[in-house]
Amino acid sequence: MPDEPAADDARATGQAILRVDLDALAENWRRLADRAEGAECAAVVKADAYGLGIAPVARALLEEGCETFFVAHLSEGEILRQIAPEARIFVLNGLAPEACPLFVASRLIPVLGSLPEISEWADFCREEGALHPAAIHIDTGMNRLGLGMSDLRRASDLMTAFSPVLAMSHFISAEDMSAPRNRLQIERFEQACAELPPMPASLCNSSGMFLEEAPFLDLCRPGYALYGGNPTPGNDNPMRRVIDLSTNVLQVRDVAAGETAGYNARWTAPSRRRLATINLGYADGFLRSGAEGPLGVDVFAAGHYCPVVGRISMDLAIVDISETAPLKRGDRVEVLGPQISIDELAAQSGTIGYEILTRLGPRFRREYVRSAENIARQDDIEASSSSE
Ligand SMILES: *Cc1c(COP(=O)(O)O)cnc(C)c1O
């Protein structure tokens, strides 16, 4: 038994660590819920809660008071149902042919986005003699999912066979506050809702909630901002940081001017340089395209930004540590954290923070951090629910 922590420490120092601050996550949800001016604040937890892990994320959000969740796939909804027996769960990608019984079995609410989906749900509900709930997705410009304006009349007729509980649409570019499309989409959505039976409405994703005169309506659907991504690009991030990703140095070496590093010799040492090989590669979501981009990716170690040099390989990357204090085997470097935000790494990698999050790899040691106060609260909740 006394050996165990030591063995565990050894494993931890030799591994990339993803630390998820569940208090910060819960506080981000609370901030967004407060911002929503009385509208309900749901949580979007698709793609394994944007890569952070759906079970711990959903539990922390439930404890904070979140009652409504959105996933993309039926299978994600089935997993979430095990974690959140009472929650309202919407499935954004809608209804696959013949999937109706599966939705009902797990009490999942499909977001119906086309006439065929709506009529299949209506037929099923008629056969069952039950007004099962569904949401209606209206297309206001994305041309991806959702009913067009010309479908609304026919859809309304079918809606008498089930219980339409939410009308929703999705912004194309809410992160660009000056985009005239935002207003256009709001107007189209209002017009569409006027043609449907009365029901609660939802339009805002994270960035939508930060638009001037944000259309909170009845329900908001933030995802990215919950996880600490900046919903207001170009401005200070109003959210708390939720994740830290660090990894360890495997080796340090000095190379002479003219030596190259990594596959295909894509980098040549301009002078004598000191390089560290770090325990992270593209299989961990450290995107290979990053080191190829115009900016180049940095990690942060011992007070300095250290550029990645050469190609990122599957399990490894090489960083130039010539400018930093001596680093040695086993030392840790920051990949995401106080010095490097999700949005910064994304910009350096030529992508968006959403992709950085959802590519977070399966090989990290994951540490979920919850303060004693919140753990105590969780115990209270469990005690009171088991005494009921
Ligand atoms: C993913 C998604 C969201 C959440 O968007 P964020 O920008 O992550 O807040 C909301 N609504 C729909 C339809 C989505 O697909």
The percentage of residues in the chain with a pLDDT greater than 70, rounded to a whole number, is: 93
**pLDDT surpasses 50 at 385:** no
The pLDDT tens digits of the residues spanning 296-322 come to: 899 999 999 999 999 999 999 999 999
The percentage of residues in the chain with a pLDDT greater than 90, rounded to a whole number, is: 87
Backbone angles phi, psi at 344, to 5 degrees: -70, -45
**pLDDT surpasses 60 at 3:** no
Task: State the pLDDT at residue 23.
Answer: 98
**pLDDT surpasses 60 at 102:** yes
Mean pLDDT across the stretch 97-103? 97
Catalytic one of 46, 224, 227, 282 = 46
Strand order from edge to edge, sheet including 219-220: 40-41, 219-220, 201-202, 163-168, 133-137, 109-112, 88-91, 68-71, 43-44
Radius of gyration of the chain (CA): 24
CB 372 within 8 A of CB 310: no
Give one word for 109, left, alpha or beta, with left for phi > 0 and alpha for psi -120 to 50.
Answer: beta
Gap from CA of 221 to ligand 1 centroid (Å): 6
Mean pLDDT across the stretch 262-286? 96
Task: State the pLDDT at residue 380.
Answer: 55
Task: State the pLDDT at residue 7.
Answer: 60
> Strands, DSSP E only, in 241-284?
243-255, 260-261, 267-268, 273-278
46 is an active site residue: yes
Mean pLDDT across the stretch 190-197? 97
Instruction: Name the residue with the closest Cα to ligand 1, atom 13.
Output: 170
Task: State the pLDDT at residue 262.
Answer: 94
- Structure letter (DSSP) for residue 138: B
Instruction: Look up the pTM and report it.
Output: 0.94
Mean pLDDT across the stretch 381-387? 48
Domain with CATH 2.40.37.10 in the chain: 241-362
Pairing of strands 163-168, 201-202: parallel
Give the helix, strand, coil percentages of the chain, each rounded to 5: 40, 20, 40
Binding annotation: 144, 314
Mean pLDDT across the stretch 359-388? 72
Task: State the pLDDT at residue 282.
Answer: 96
Task: State the pLDDT at residue 161.
Answer: 97
State the burial class of residue 254 (Cβ atoms within 10 Å of its Cβ: 0-12, 13-18, 19+): exposed
Distance, CA of 47 to CA of 14 (rounded, Å): 27
Dihedral sign of CA atoms 114, 118, 123, 124 in order: positive
Task: State the pLDDT at residue 372.
Answer: 72
Give the chain's mean pLDDT.
93
Mean pLDDT across the stretch 315-330? 94
263 is an active site residue: yes
Mean pLDDT across the stretch 10-30? 92
Q: Is 202 in the pocket of ligand 1 (CB under 6 A)?
A: no
* Other CB atoms within 10 Å distance of the CB of residue 366: 16
Domain with CATH 3.20.20.10 in the chain: 22-227
Quote the Cα angle for 26-214-168, to 5°: 80
| Right CATH for 22-227 from 3.30.70.1350, 3.20.20.10, 3.40.50.2300, 3.20.20.140 | 3.20.20.10
Instruction: Name the residue with the closest Cα to ligand 1, atom 4.
Output: 223
Of the ranges 58-67, 255-264, 378-387, which one carries the lowest mean pLDDT score?
378-387
Gap from CA of 277 to ligand 1 centroid (Å): 37
Distance, CA of 22 to CA of 375 (rounded, Å): 11
Pocket-testing residue among 66, 92, 227, 237, ligand 1, by greatest number of atoms within 8 A of Cβ = 92
Distance, CA of 349 to CA of 351 (rounded, Å): 6
Gap from CA of 388 to ligand 1 centroid (Å): 36
Distance, CA of 330 to CA of 318 (rounded, Å): 15
Distance, CA of 76 to CA of 89 (rounded, Å): 10
β-sheet bridge partners, residue 148 = none
The pLDDT tens digits of the residues spanning 135-174 come to: 999 999 999 999 999 999 999 999 999 999 999 999 999 9
**pLDDT surpasses 70 at 335:** yes
Q: Which fold has domain 241-362?
A: Lyase, Ornithine Decarboxylase; Chain A, domain 1 (2.40.37)
Distance of CA 305 to the CA centre of its chain: 26
